[in-house]
Chain A
Amino acid sequence: MSKIARSNKKVIHMVKRSGISPLKAWGIRLIAAVLGLIVAAFVIVGITGVNPLKVYEGIIGGAVGSPRRIWVTVRETVVLLLIAVGLMPAFKMRFWNLGAEGQILAGGIACSALMIYGKSIPAPLLLFLIIVCSALGGMIWGFLPGLFKAIFNTNESLFTLMLNYVAMQLVTFFIVFWENPSGSNSVGIINPSGKEGWFPALFGSDYGLNILIVLIVTVVMTLYMKITKHGYEIAVVGESQNTARYAGINVGKVIIRTMLVSSAVCGLAGAVIVSGASHTISTSTAGGRGFTAIVVAWMANLNPAGMLLVAAFLVFMQQGSIQIASQYGLNENASDIITGILIFFLIGCEFFIRYHLKVVNTEDDKS
């Protein structure tokens, strides 16, 4: 290669942006979403031959096409948001809590137990106990990995992940006692006639209380992270444990405390699912939402407003998928493909928010 040849060469450099205006950042995300929809449209036509606009119409109709569908979408969104909010402090601390699934189930078990055995407790007290005890149930599941991390520096990803399976087995164990009727291997709807322990209707909706709880928890957690000393300590531990120690923060204590908070919220999500929606418990009560919430939390950069958007988007697609499956005979997997393509574009575009591409002449570089 001669010098002359090289001087003509143009190269693309990735340059880290020093800053980006929110408007521009959201503009990039919007472009990514549109591009994603276009690519997905080609895939739909290519694979199924169905008009993609009709499919999108079906998704929208399925998610918000009737008042009941809107409520279901809202109900599922707030649950996902609640779990993501629960994961937020742990992730902020760079503690990889992959155990939301188990923490939800632990909370769900506590909640179901109260519904089954606590029928004679006055309704308001029962509701209060359900909320407190499900949070406590989740806390047990978060306390263990937190404690081991603080004392022995145990790998928390593995620990929390394994506890999911323990919780799953525990649910199977309790189903043996609670199965109704015996031999059915399922608990069925708990208290179908008296509705003891069911969330009461609020603001004219069966899911009003779900929304209220999630709203309160989200606001409180946001404030907790933003303005309290605890929140600051979590951020410092997340950035650097050595810095935290140097600053006189008791890292072990912060880890345990934060995991208790995180898992309590996830446990509470168990109550919102069991008492507020399904009124039963099974090994699929958490239904992978503990993992989906991880995506929600990180795609939103742990920003609660962003989490709401991401959660709403994912649930929207999921609810829409049920509709396109029955309307066009497309398998649910079709909407998974669409969701996958969109997420690929949305995550991919974060790169362009942090960096911009610059075409540089190699000659310029030398000068």
Chain B
Amino acid sequence: MKKKLMSLMLVAATSVTMLAGCQSASAPQQEEAQGESATEEQASEGLDASNIKVGVIYIGDENEGYTAAHMQGIDDMQAALGLSDEQVIEKSLIPEDESCADAAEDLVDQGCNVVFATSFGHESFLMQVAGDHPEVEFAHATGYQAAGSGLSNFHNYFDNIYEARYVSGVVAGMKLNEMIADGKITADQAKVGYVGAYPYAEVISGFTSFFLGVRSQVPTATMEVQYTNSWADMTAEGEVATQLIADGCVLISQHADTTGAPTACEKAGVPCVGYNVDMTAVAPTCALTSASNNWGVYYTYAVQAVLNGEVMPADWTAGFADGAVAITDLNQNAIAEGTEDVVKETIEAISSGKLNVFDTSTFTVDGGKTLEDAIAEGGDYAQYAQYVSDGAFHESSVASAPAFAMIIDGITANAE
């Protein structure tokens, strides 16, 4: 009996303290790692291409497109700077938990002067390690916390993949036009399906730019987005693609890391646009092209900066102008006639700054309002005010990670 009383009291005590905790939780949460040592020792003392060590933490391995692209980038950097294999230490299949901190600490122990981590969820663990090792540079892809971290040795980087997605959207749009011209579909049936991973800004920014690319060619186009809630789930991506096709989508694109969607498209005979890797191996007659990253540009820049003792910015981005993004070779078996020329023009326009992907005159939000008007009205859209100027939303102008998280008119994305 006594024991039971004890446990009852414990339960009661816990619930009371938990409730009490609730009320006071919000205030001290903000004091982040601001006070962490901002003094950076110059890491470049006596460093040169023969003794610098580079560490990399990958979420996956070479069997998965996203990581394969990063590995390729590291290889390009290694070749460009003439580093030996011993100078590059790569750790693959590191999950987004304390294993990432363990891996980073271990790379520092092995003498790495710069450590890269590639997955969104690695960020807080890498940041923690960065705070303990001010003499080592840390850089994290797709993250957003570097600028606010107060750490001078912690950086974020991301390619302007939205530029490549826009161009891949143009390729898709021309294919739709061909299908309309051939009488396979009517202009009203030009509905695109999109297999998204998560409802994050990174994904939303990506499919919006793709859609704007499509609509630059087919003004009547609409798009339906469905999420798989996983970065890489072959089965789910195939199922979602099949579902979208059943919903009347006549072309499929994706922001997910496997070949699930193009495989399903090939089976259904629906044209598709991939991500990261050339999909013609699994969809020889249907894959048009893929938007892809060329991470080597950043890795070469970053390692060179460490060698030179240059201060790297907290946020780094680059697009077509620097060769950091691309689309894979156009599949001649699938693309519409004349695609090459339009693609070339579009890339030139983006590189020269003539064309802004998120030109606010090309889309509306919230049922017909321009983005400027929506921002002026306040509410949820007001947060984007700092990105919008001169008739365009300047993606990645504040932090390297994508920020465009609005569902524009013409796109239906099922709720979170």
A279 contacts across to B, CB distance below 8 A: 98
Given known A68-B105, A132-B10, A193-B33, contact A117–B200 (CB-CB < 8 A): no
Tell whether B14 is near chain A: CB-to-CB under 8 Å.
yes
User: B361 near A: Cβ within 8 Å?
Assistant: no
Q: Given A121-B21, A322-B91, is A136 in contact with B10 using a C-beta cutoff of 8 Å?
A: yes
Given the known A-B contacts A129-B17, A184-B200, A282-B97, are A116 and B25 also in contact in the complex, defined by CB atoms under 8 Å? yes
Among B25, B32, B97, B125, point to the contact of A119 (Cβ < 8 A): B25
Q: Does A149 contact B (CB under 8 A)?
A: no
Residues on A with beta carbons closer than 8 Å to the beta carbon of B14: 129, 132-133, 136
Give complex CA distance A116, B29 in Å: 9
Q: Which residues of B contact A181 (CB under 8 A)?
A: 144
A66 to B105, CA, bound (A): 11
Separation of A322 and B31 alpha carbons in the complex (Å): 35
Given contacts A133-B14, A326-B91, whether A120 and B128 have CB atoms under 8 Å apart is no
Verify A326–B95 contact, CB threshold 8 A: no
Residues of B within 8 A of A192 (CB): 32-33, 124, 127-128
| Set B89, B92, B124, B201: member contacting A332, Cβ < 8 A | B92
**B5-34 near A? 1/0 per residue, CB < 8 Å:** 000001100100110111011001001110
6 further interface pairs, Cβ-Cβ under 8 Å (given A189-B128, A284-B95, A322-B91): A117-B18, A136-B10, A192-B33, A325-B92, A331-B62, A332-B92
Cβ contact within 8 Å between B21 and A114: yes
Contact indicator B28/A119 (Cβ below 8 Å): yes
Contact A325 B25 (CB under 8 A): no
**In contact, B18 and A113 (Cβ under 8 angstroms):** yes
The complex places the Cα of A133 from the Cα of B200 at a distance, in Å, of 33
Known: A114-B18, A284-B95, A326-B89. A184 touches B120 (CB 8 A): yes
Selected A-B contacts with CB under 8 Å, 19 pairs: A68-B102, A69-B106, A72-B102, A116-B25, A117-B18, A117-B22, A119-B28, A120-B24, A129-B14, A184-B200, A186-B121, A192-B128, A277-B98, A278-B97, A279-B98, A282-B97, A287-B95, A325-B91, A326-B89
User: CA–CA, A105 to B263, complex, Å?
Assistant: 36
Q: How far is the CB of A141 from chain B (nearest CB, A)?
A: 15
For chain B, the bracket of interface size reads: 35 or more
Collect the chain B residues with CB atoms within 8 Å of residue A69's CB. Answer: 106
Does B76 lie at the interface of the complex (its beta carbon under 8 Å from any beta carbon of A)? no
Could you say which of B90, B98, B128 has the most chain A C-beta atoms within 10 Å of its C-beta? B98
Q: Is B312 interfacial (CB-CB < 8 Å)?
A: no
With A183-B201, A186-B96 as contacts: A118 and B91 at CB distance below 8 Å: no
Beyond A114-B18, A280-B97, whether A193 also contacts B92 by CB under 8 A is no
Q: In angstroms, how far is the closest chain B Cβ from the Cβ of A308?
A: 21
Tell me whether B303 is interfacial, beta carbon within 8 Å: no
In-complex Cβ contact of A193 among B22, B32, B61, B89 (8 A): B32
Q: Say whether B93 faces chain A, with CB atoms less than 8 Å apart.
A: yes
Of all chain B residues, which has the CB nearest A139?
B7
Smallest beta-carbon distance B235→chain A, Å: 17
Is the CB of B195 closer than 8 A to any CB of chain A? Answer: no
When distances are taken between beta carbons in the complex, the residues of chain A under 8 Å from B32 are 192-193
A122 → B minimal CB distance (Å): 11
> Are A193 and B31 in contact (CB-based, < 8 A)?
yes
Q: Do A119 and B18 touch (CB < 8 A)?
A: no
A185–B61 alpha-carbon span in the complex (Å): 22
Verify if A306 is at the interface (C-beta below 8 Å from B).
Answer: no
Q: Which residues of B contact A284 (CB under 8 A)?
A: 95-97
Q: Mark A230-256, 1 if CB is under 8 A from B, else 0.
A: 000000000000000000000000000
Shortest Cβ distance from B384 into chain A, in angstroms? 14
A287 to B99, CA, bound (A): 11
Tell me, yes or no, whether B109 is within 8 Å of chain A by CB.
yes
B90, B96, B123, B125: which contacts A326 (Cβ < 8 A)? Answer: B90
B18/A322 in contact, CB under 8 A? no
Q: A270-285 toward B: CB 8 Å interface, digit per residue (1/0)? A: 0000000111101011
